Structures are given as structure tokens and as C-alpha cells.
Amino acid sequence: MIWVLIGVVVLVLLVFGVSSLKTLKEYERGVGFRLGRLREALGPGIRLVIPGLDKMVRVDLRVVALTIPPQEVITRDNVPARVNAVVLFRVIDPIRSVMAVENHSVATSQIAQTTLRSVVGRADLDTLLAHRADLNEDLAVSIATQTEPWGVEVDVVEIKDVEIPEQMQRAMAREAEAERERRAKVISARGELQASKELRDAAIILSESPASLQLRYLQTLLELGADQNSTVVFPIPIDIVSPFLDAMRHKAADPSSVIGHPTGVSATERTHDDHRA
């Protein structure tokens, strides 16, 4: 009977000793309490925690990715939107994360939700869509300021999705289309301006050399002939045909050049013929 009692006592001591040993991983820290009073933080390894006398709270030091559920917000320009985000935070002071707040993860989530609604509500829709990096920085600073007393450090805050009403999406699409058309018209006008300047310079150069102008016309005729067109309408500059027109007007205005000369040869032409003879 005594041996049985001794065996039971030894077994109880073994169970008590095994249950008193706690293992902390490298990324964990333990906040110990003895009879309700705070002890120093426990590092990784095997730690002795006496049941009924000591209590240990494990604290994970790894980065936690916290997803903020979609929040209904109204921007500064009175546009309703649904915005969600993700927060990356980690515990830097295990003791404060246990002593200063009941549950630092839940508290950080609630603070992140309220801060998201507040910051987005101060911005207009264009800022929310085009300058999201600035909003992310403001969110990170605001959340970190409130979580710092809890021993929680906020590393990154990123706005993930922004949902706006369908009518606003159509209006933004029309606005973007109008902006693209405006840019296309501006580019076309600039091209016309540059082309007109180049044509003006080319006209100045060609006017200085009439032979080059005639060569240009001949080249154009050659290009038109290569297309095998049945009908070609080709404008002729007035300076090319003006000598012929002047001669015809001169003959029409001088009757003496025809009357008295049945052969139609003018006196001037006969004089020239006499000289040549």
C-alpha cells in the first residue's frame, strides 16, 4: 500500500513538473504573472510556470495582416463610396500589449476602421482615386499614433478597393472620353500648325528658284501618272501660263496686227523678218 501511495505521489509530481514547463518559440514572448503581479517578459526557450502560482500570456511578435472590412463613407464632394483596406502591424512591446489593452488585435482593427472613415471623408473623389499613396500615409500615421501606447507598431496601411455608384462610373467614363477627345484635337491642331510652318518654309525656298518649282510639278505629274488614273485634274500655276495669256490679250487688243495683212502676220513680225533677211 505504501508503494502504491509513493507511486501515485511520484506520478503526480511528474505530471506537475511536465505541466510546469512551457516552450516559447523564437518569434514569441511570454508575459508572466505570479500571484497576479507582473513579472519580466519571458524569452524563447523552456520556461517554468508553476500551475496555480504563475500565469503566462503568449505574445506573437510576427507581422499581422489585418483586413479592414468595407466601410461606407461619403467623400468631401458628397460622393458615397465603399472602401476597404489592409493594415500590417506587429507588437514591439509585449508587456504593454498585454497591460495597456485587453486585445490589441481587436483594438487595432476598430481604430483602423474609424480612422479609415475619417480620413477618406476628408478627401474628395479625385484624391481618393488618383492620390491614394497620400491617403495611405495619412492613415498609417493616424493609426500608429493611437496604437503606439499599446506597444503596437503599424508598418503599412493600403487602401485596396474603392467602389462608387454605377451612375458616377458612367459620368467618369464620359468625362475621360471628353478629355481624350480634347487631347486629340489639341494634338491635331499642333500638327496642323507645324505642318503649315513647314509648308511656308518650303514655299519660300521654292519661290526663290522657279526651276525647282517646275521640277516639283513635273514630279507630281509623274506620281499621278503612276496611279493609272483615267482622269487627272492638275492645277497649273498662273505664273506658268501668264506669258501665253498676255500674248493673247495683246493680240486681241491690237487690230493693226491683223487688218491689212491677209496672212495674219503683223508688221512687227515682218520687220523682224526683214532684219533677218
DSSP, collapsed to helix, strand or coil, labels residue 41 as: strand
- Give domain limits for the chain: 16-60, 64-164, 166-226
What DSSP designation does 78 have? S
pLDDT for the residue numbered 235? 63
Q: Predicted confidence band at 262 (pLDDT cuts at 50, 70, 90)?
A: very low
The CA-CA-CA angle for residues 150, 105, 44, to 5°, reads 75
Mean pLDDT (whole number) for 108-121: 91
Q: Smallest Cα–Cα separation from 105: which of 147, 145, 44, 71?
A: 147
- What are the two backbone dihedrals, phi and then psi, of residue 82, each rounded to the nearest 5 degrees? -115, 125
pLDDT tens column, 60-98: 889 999 998 888 888 888 888 889 999 999 999 999 988
Question: What is this structure's pTM?
Answer: 0.59
Mean pLDDT (whole number) for 108-124: 90
Mean pLDDT of the chain: 78
Inform me whether the pLDDT recorded for 275 exceeds 90: no
> Residue 71 CB: number of other CB atoms within 10 A?
17
DSSP, collapsed to helix, strand or coil, labels residue 40 as: strand
What's the CA gap between 183 and 199, in Å, rounded? 24
pLDDT for the residue numbered 112? 92
> Residue 217 CB: number of other CB atoms within 10 A?
15
Question: Could you give the C-alpha distances from 39 to 33, 36, 65, 266, in angstroms and in order?
Answer: 5, 9, 29, 135
Q: Smallest Cα–Cα separation from 112: which of 183, 77, 170, 64?
A: 64
Q: For residues 1 and 201, which has the higher predicted lDDT (pLDDT)?
A: 201
pLDDT tens column, 134-179: 889 999 999 999 999 999 999 899 998 888 888 877 877 787 788 8
pLDDT for the residue numbered 107? 92
Which superfamily does CATH assign the domain made up of 64-164 to?
Band 7 domain (3.30.479.30)
pLDDT tens column, 221-260: 677 666 665 566 656 666 666 666 777 777 777 655 544 4
H-only helix segments in the chain:
2-20, 94-99, 104-121, 125-130, 132-147, 166-207, 210-226, 238-253, 267-276
Inform me whether the pLDDT recorded for 16 exceeds 70: no
Inform me whether the pLDDT recorded for 269 exceeds 50: no
Q: For residues 7 and 174, which has the higher predicted lDDT (pLDDT)?
A: 174
Q: For residues 116 and 269, which has the higher predicted lDDT (pLDDT)?
A: 116
